[in-house]
Amino acid sequence: MPSDLENLIEKTDPFYDTNWCDMPAEIKLECIGKMKFRERLSLRCTAKAERSLVDSQKIEFDEGRFWGDDKMMSFEILSCAFTDYKKLIISDDGLFTAKKIEFLQCDIGIVDAVLRKMKTGVETIKINYGRNISHELAEILAIPHVQNVPYWHIHNYEETDSLHKMWIDKSSKIGSTFQVYVQHNDSFRDFLEHFDDRILSKNENRVRIRTNNPDRHILLERGLDPFVLLDYEPIYFRLKMISAEMKESEYDDDCQKWIRKFDREIYRPKNYYAQIGFYGYYYK
Amino acid sequence: MSSTEQGTSSAAPAEPTTAPESAAAPEVPESFYYVHGKDKVVHKVSAGALQHSALIHGMISNLGYTEEQAKANPFPFENIDGDILQMVVDWCNQHKGKPTPPEDTNLPKQKEKLFDLVLAVNYLEIKELLTYCCKQVAMMVKGKSPEEIREIWMIPTDAEDEAAEKEAKKRAGKEAAGETAAAAGDAK
């Protein structure tokens, strides 16, 4: 063989009777990249070395759902460097990354477990539990990396004592928003009880509250939209972290906008509910 | 070197075909190169087909061989089994100048052959074929349990791995001790 050709041919061991274990890591990763979620989970259970290879690769989902007995979680955008969902509760932290998370009718223990597994970077958390989660919320809000999530909304929130604590004590970013809807009409008063000695200004729809950070105020707004009245009257509230410098003239008066973000269906066309034979909603 | 020159084999397509050219375009003679594997069987492959392999393509550019020189100096890939190289050559011929389809169902289903092919393709840097092969490897374990995967791919358990590692360390220790004793004996 001429020497110039010899120089170009790199000497390697012959490829003969090769098996998975003889494959270099980069090839294994390429193969793992072609596997579906289930096969990856199976492979990672075969041996430690395989597990670390599988775990080193991210798997991306447009949407992920986990089912259990009467439990379901839905991630709007979930990018997962992942776990066996059966081991979710006991596995490592920081396994999931997602911008938006929505919990629908799922056990609050699962909400807590999943949020603890999240990496930072979550932008939206929506909880539609179906039952009141007020008591458990304090525990959820104590998870350090979810405290700075800029947008929260919670359906069916009854108690009023968790939300304000988080923002009074901690200095959240300006613009951070917490939206809740509550099923009884006394909630505004209940909220105010917690802020009694901190109220800076107050009217029918809006209260401005002092926090422990002199640069930050909380704006508590009640979504009273004259366009819509509901016969069982859920009350929409929005807590927003604002700059202490913000003037009243700068307040956003369009509560429709944020109520719509919370509950898209509420502003359906006037005859929509009549058409589908549901008369629970009526319009002024 | 036993040189069984063959542009094709029974499994391979007929003589490397040239892409159809317009009547007006002048005929450019296609150049051919020669490769052989461990079995020394020489395969004649067109430059067009070899374009799939980044490694061989680079070698061709570097060497600048004439037709005669290329014929006299086949590229030797001693690390690749003859039948595996045949598969690679066939694939390159079949996909010469064509866009690669999203699936390739003609890859070997036999585990050892597939893994040998993966390593050969990786070595020869044939990106598209490597993608197909990796997909095929992934398909081997579709729907399989961890136990089944371990069996199919002969993955040792952690305990077996640890035992093998201990054994290897022990052996290495013994060998090192033997070498030291031999060196001491030589010094005397």
Concatenated DSSP letters for B9-77? -SSS-SSPPPPP--TTSPP-PPPEEEEE-TT--EEEEEHHHHTT-HHHHHHHHHH---HHHHHHSPEE-
Minimal Cβ distance to B79: which of A13, A24, A48: A13
- What gap in Å lies between CA A134 and CA A184, rounded to an integer? 14
Q: Say how many Å lie between the first and final Cα of chain B, rounded.
A: 48
Strand ranges (E), A11-150? 59-61, 64-68, 71-75, 78-80, 96-97, 100-104, 124-128
3-state secondary structure of A42: helix
Residue A81 pLDDT: 35
Residues within 8 A of B (CB atoms), A 158-187 only: none
Q: At what angle do helices A37-44 and B146-153 cross, to 10 degrees?
A: 70
Question: Which of A20-24, A52-56, B18-22 has the lowest average pLDDT?
Answer: B18-22
Minimal Cβ distance to B141: which of A5, A30, A42: A42
Residue B47 pLDDT: 86
Please give the share of chain A, as a percent, with pLDDT higher than 90.
11
pTM of the model: 0.53
Residue B13 has pLDDT above 50, yes or no: no
> Cβ A33–B134 below 8 Å, yes or no?
yes
Tens digit of each residue's pLDDT (9 = 90 or more) over B24-70 = 555 667 788 888 998 889 999 888 898 899 988 888 888 877 878 88
Confidence band (pLDDT; 50, 70, 90) for A105?
low
Chain B residues in contact with A35 by the CB 8 A cut-off are 138, 141
Tens digit of each residue's pLDDT (9 = 90 or more) over B89-120 = 999 998 887 777 666 666 777 777 899 999 99
- What gap in Å lies between CA B36 and CA B72, rounded to an integer? 12
3-state secondary structure of A283: strand
Minimal Cβ distance to B149: which of A21, A22, A46: A46
Higher pLDDT, A170 or A125: A125
DSSP state of A1: -
Residue A258, number of CB atoms within 10 A of its CB: 17
Residue A68 pLDDT: 46
Mean pLDDT highest for which of A57-61, A234-238, B12-16, B164-168? B164-168
Residue B161 pLDDT: 83
> What radius of gyration, in Å, describes the C-alpha atoms of chain B?
23
> Cβ A39–B79 below 8 Å, yes or no?
no
**Element spanning A151, H or E:** strand A151-154
Is some CB atom of chain A closer than 8 A to the CB atom of B149? Answer: yes
Confidence band (pLDDT; 50, 70, 90) for A229?
low
Q: What is the ipTM of this complex?
A: 0.74
Closest CA to A154 of A96, A94, A238, A224: A238
Confidence band (pLDDT; 50, 70, 90) for A91?
very low
Question: Which of A46-60, A262-276, B172-186 has the lowest average pLDDT?
Answer: A262-276
Interface with chain A: mutation pick from B61, B62, B79, highest number of A CBs within 10 Å: B79
Is-contact B116 B88, C-beta < 8 A?
A: no
Residue A277 has pLDDT above 70, yes or no: no
Residue A87 has pLDDT above 50, yes or no: no
B111 to chain A, closest Cα gap in Å: 7
3-state secondary structure of A63: coil
Closest-CA residue of chain B to A32:
B138
> Cβ B161–A47 below 8 Å, yes or no?
yes
- What gap in Å lies between CA A43 and CA B155, rounded to an integer? 10
Tell me the domain boundaries of chain A.
Answer: 23-57, 58-283
